[in-house]
Amino acid sequence: MNTRMTRLHQINVRVHLAVEGDSVSVWTAVNQGMLKYKGEDGPFPRLFPLSGVMSGAELSFKLEPSDIIAVQEQPLMLHCQVDGIPPITTQWRHDGLLVPQDRHHTTFINGSLLVAHFQKTKSDGSSDEGDYECMAQNSFGRVVSRKARIQAATMADFHVQPESVLAEESGVARFQCQIHGLPEPVISWEKDSRPVDTADERSGRFMSWKRRLFCCITYFFKVWLCFPFRYTLLPTGVLQITGVREEDSGKFCCVAHNSAAVKHSAEALLTVSDSQSSVYKEPMIVVGPENLTLTVHQTAILECVATGYPRPIVSWSRLDGRPIGVEGIQVLGTGNLMISDVGVQHSGVYVCAANKPGTRVRRTAQGRLVVQAPAEFVQPPQSIARPVGTTAIFTCQAQGEPGPQLTWLKNGQVLETGRHVKLRNNNSTLTIHSISQEDEAIYQCIAENSAGSTQASARLTVLWADGLPGVPTNVQAEALSPNTIQVSWREPEQNTQDIIGYVLHIRRTSDPLEMEYEEAVSKVTLQQVIRDLEPSTSYTFYVKAYTSHGASKPSDSVSESTRGEVPAPPSLFTKVLNSSVVQVMWESSPKMGQHQGFRLYYRSAQAPAFAGPTTFPRNVTQWNITQLDSSLVYEIKLLAYNQHGDGNATTRFVSLRETLEKSVLDGSCDCLQDEQSKTSTTGIIIGIHIGVTCIIFCVLFLVFSYRDRLMMCKTVQATPQAAHSAALESSSSSQGASGLNGAARREMEVNGSAAGKKVVDSNELQRLFRQQNPQDTCTVSADHLSCGLFIKMFFTNNVVK
């Protein structure tokens, strides 16, 4: 106990002296942040600040706290150094709550926080684990550092134990163990209780990175031990043995150690059997690469173990065809790929191929490498100065993998967007409209993704010009109707001579601040009627006075509600069900506004007063009026109502007598139409039959006429051609008679009349028939025309009618 108190006293003294000397190098963070005391005679390591951007905000971080893995009951220190105009006060937050100043926590004047005894779980259930933030404040504002996560060093049990292996001589043996811990445990191996990769203290530690290389360990410039590398130790907890020999047989054990504990795994036996190297074996990948997710600057190891005879050749490629490159690339053992200092460009799918020498026989396996990059700024926000009433714009652009999320702080608190504060373009652009003195602050842009976070700050200075008007006073609002409110105010008490106008800011009270809109008002008008508002709705107003130099501060806000409005008339429909019942139906719509229900009135046209009202809730939309007189005309009236009164009514007149008579007439007309429809159908059928008969008759008539003419032509062509000279003589001697009645003579001659005892030759017959052809054609055409006219007249008179 005394020793512990002495050590704590020494810690406090050392840190105090270091602070006075403007150095904190006595205590530093090693092994991912665990504090180690180097002693008075030892070298003091240098402290490097984390990523932070100083942009002339009159207050910025020179050094921000980093993540630390702490040891139970050991002290830890979080560093925070701020650059700015004094005086500067520094505070710390733990999971959003202020860290108290007590014997367990100490904040030094340089901003660093000391936790005297780290405890994962305290007696009251609290813990020192969590997120810590450094807050610094001066007269210009407040800034908050990145979050530093404090975690307790732990060591779990092995969740993957090495298993016994039976390997052929000259073959490959592989052991694996896995264990979780903070910080990440360092894995080593033992064979038969002796370290696999060490000889004695003089030989040092070695590790195999290349094939077919020999390690010669030299001590005092003399060769102490020289042997070929066949053992490959991977940081992932894998031990590979290539070219297995009989002397490799034994018990292998995995050893994991970190700042929390040291643990040994179960033992696994390696048994070496005789080799059957002359037997051909297909290439086979025993272990392929696994999917990895790393952060930039880490080392990626993609494992690939292949067997076969002859020994296969292992090669690597990218699935997308891009070259792997050579810088930072090494091959470990017989085919493992190591990429040092990985970057985002190394992300991709890697393919391991085992090829049989001299052939195209191959086996492949693939794994995906994802490289994440912490957020970093491409364009941090810059401090600006703007006159009051103008617009200020901050731009913040960051990159990373995955893409970072941007958050804005105002004086250390999350920025709330409002009536004049807008965030656009995925929060990369901050716009402040109509700035006032309240907007003067330090604004921070926080860029964060799964790989890390960073922050940058900038200050907004509001320039307050001389002679700006005072604040408008006595702002009042009065509802004039369900849709209008009148807002009035008085002039400011000072600097009114340069006022050029006023701006009235309006929004519904229930809406967020960014839903505000504005109306400009003349300087001679100290009131404004706001129109097109919603009934029964509360609105909030405030006023600013403007000059050519800027705007005044906003006036006090005032709220007022518009008056209520009665509902609009509903849509009304009626339907006569029988001689004494009328069905009334109605519809509600958004145009009606708020309504609580409906009221129904009705009366006969002669009655002086309405019957009713019958009141219905808003969900009822129909009703039957019964026991009516069929001989009367009725007036039906429907209106909607709410808390503000009854709305205008919709009226309908209904006559039961006329409706019933119309129904009867409609029924008789339907019967007549049915009878006429039947008669018309019968006439059409009869007409079609008659028309078809006439067409057949005309076709037969034309056929028989054509046959008679054809027979006559054949008879004439068969007449003998004798007495040709006699015919010519007769023709010349009787020219006068032929000229008197040529047509009659031709007819007699054609028919072979014996009265004249003359025979017509073939030339004369041809001449006569050529003259008769037009006549015959006209006769046939007339026959066709007669039949066509007959059919047309028949269908017109019988079918169509």
Question: What is the tens place of the pLDDT at every residue in 16-68?
Answer: 323 333 333 333 333 333 333 333 333 333 333 333 333 445 788 999 999 99
Question: What is the tens place of the pLDDT at every residue in 672-685?
Answer: 444 444 555 666 77
Is residue 257 very low, low, confident or very high in pLDDT (cuts 50, 70, 90)? Answer: very high
Query: Which are the contacts of 368, defined by CB distance < 8 A and separation ≥ 6?
Result: 291, 292, 348, 349, 350
Question: What is the tens place of the pLDDT at every residue in 713-751?
Answer: 555 444 444 444 444 344 334 444 333 344 333 333 333
The pLDDT of residue 26: 31
Give the type of residue at 163: E
- Burial (CB < 10 A; 0-12, 13-18, 19+), residue 492, is buried
Average pLDDT over residues 217-239: 59
The pLDDT of residue 66: 92
Cα separation, 253 vs 282, in Å, equals 31
pLDDT > 90 in the chain, percent: 39
Cα separation, 506 vs 269, in Å, equals 82
The pLDDT of residue 572: 87
Query: Which are the contacts of 9, defined by CB distance < 8 A and separation ≥ 6?
Result: none
Cα separation, 640 vs 599, in Å, equals 6
Give the type of residue at 493: E
Query: Which are the contacts of 733, defined by CB distance < 8 A and separation ≥ 6?
Result: none
For residue 408, give the nearest of 365, 368, 439 by alpha carbon.
439
Average pLDDT over residues 479-508: 90
Average pLDDT over residues 147-162: 93
The pLDDT of residue 297: 92
The pLDDT of residue 685: 74
- Tokens 């994962």 belong to 120
Cα separation, 179 vs 265, in Å, equals 10
pLDDT at 378 over 50: yes
SS3 letters for 408-468? EEECCEECCCCCCEEEECCCCEEEECCCCHHHCEEEEEEEEECCEEEEEEEEEEEECCCCC
The pLDDT of residue 739: 35
For residue 63, the SS3 value is strand
CA–CA–CA angle 80, 83, 85 (5° rounding): 135
The pLDDT of residue 754: 38
Mean pLDDT of the chain: 76
Residue that wins the pLDDT comparison between 295 and 418: 295
Question: What is the tens place of the pLDDT at every residue in 566-610?
Answer: 787 888 888 888 888 999 998 876 666 677 789 999 998 888 888
Q: Are 499 and 545 spatial neighbours (Cβ–Cβ below 8 Å)?
A: yes
The pLDDT of residue 639: 87
Cα separation, 701 vs 355, in Å, equals 99
**What b/e sequence results for 621-634 when a residue is b if at least 16 CB atoms lie within 10 Å of its CB, and e otherwise?**
eebebeebeeeeeb
Query: Which are the contacts of 606, defined by CB distance < 8 A and separation ≥ 6?
Result: 632
Residue that wins the pLDDT comparison between 692 and 306: 306
Average pLDDT over residues 361-384: 93
pTM: 0.52
Question: What is the tens place of the pLDDT at every residue in 447-477?
Answer: 999 888 899 999 999 887 777 888 999 999 9
| Pair type for strands 68-70 and 148-152 | parallel
pLDDT > 70 in the chain, percent: 72
Q: How many helices (H) and strands (E) does the chain have?
A: 6, 60
| 82 CA to centre of own chain | 41
The pLDDT of residue 496: 84
Residue that wins the pLDDT comparison between 2 and 80: 80
The pLDDT of residue 82: 92
Question: What is the tens place of the pLDDT at every residue in 612-621?
Answer: 888 988 888 8
Least confident range from 374-378, 743-747, 763-767: namely 743-747
pLDDT at 427 over 70: yes
For residue 285, the SS3 value is strand
Q: Are 505 and 518 spatial neighbours (Cβ–Cβ below 8 Å)?
A: yes
Sign of CA dihedral 416, 421, 424, 429: negative
For residue 232, the SS3 value is strand
Question: What is the tens place of the pLDDT at every residue in 494-538?
Answer: 888 889 999 999 999 998 777 888 899 998 889 999 999 988 899
Average pLDDT over residues 307-320: 90
Instruction: Return the H-helix or E-strand segment holding 81.
Output: strand 81-84
- Burial (CB < 10 A; 0-12, 13-18, 19+), residue 591, is exposed
- The domains located in the chain, with CATH, are 2-152 (2.60.40.10), 155-275 (2.60.40.10), 280-372 (2.60.40.10), 380-463 (2.60.40.10), 473-561 (2.60.40.10), 571-648 (2.60.40.10), 683-729+742-800 (no CATH)
Q: Residue 788 is encoded by which pair of tokens?
A: 């066509």
Question: What is the tens place of the pLDDT at every residue in 176-226?
Answer: 999 999 999 999 999 999 998 633 333 333 333 333 333 433 333 333 333
The pLDDT of residue 277: 63
Question: What is the tens place of the pLDDT at every residue in 82-141?
Answer: 998 899 999 999 998 999 988 899 999 899 999 999 999 888 889 999 999 999 999 888
Residue that wins the pLDDT comparison between 115 and 711: 115
The pLDDT of residue 709: 63
Average pLDDT over residues 552-565: 88
Q: Residue 555 is encoded by which pair of tokens?
A: 């006036």
The pLDDT of residue 292: 93
Helices 762-794 and 656-717, axial angle in degrees (round to 10): 170
SS3 letters for 657-695? HHHHHHHHHHHHHHHHHHHHHHHHHHHHHHHHHHHHHHH
Average pLDDT over residues 267-288: 85
The pLDDT of residue 774: 41
The pLDDT of residue 683: 64
The pLDDT of residue 714: 52
Sign of CA dihedral 758, 761, 763, 769: positive
Least confident range from 263-277, 310-324, 383-397, 644-658: namely 644-658
- Burial (CB < 10 A; 0-12, 13-18, 19+), residue 315, is middle
